[in-house]
Amino acid sequence: MEVRFKLPAGGSGIPANMKCSHLQGELVLWCARYHYLYQDVDVFRRPGKGLVFRFKNEDIYNTFRLTWDGNEYDRY
């Protein structure tokens, strides 16, 4: 269970890196708010695909989908 965030292209990758940092910060805050461990979510970038959050169990994924109020994401 994973969600994918699109990243901006161009600008020598600087805008994409800035958005990745922002999203990872938002994920840390989300984990603290809903009492999950940040380590229960794998965060990585796929070239050409964007930033991916992969959840280790279904409960975290379901809570994320219901409560995430940040940037729009694609479900996978």
Better-scored residue on pLDDT, 71 or 65? 65
Q: Which residues contact 25 (CB under 8 A, 6 or more apart)?
A: none
Per-residue model confidence (pLDDT) at position 76: 60
| pLDDT tier for residue 20 given thresholds of 50, 70 and 90 | very high
SS3 6: coil
**CB of 58 within 8 A of CB of 2?**
no
Has residue 3 got a pLDDT over 90?
yes
Q: Which residues pair with 58 in a beta bridge?
A: none
- Does the predicted model carry a pTM greater than 0.75? yes
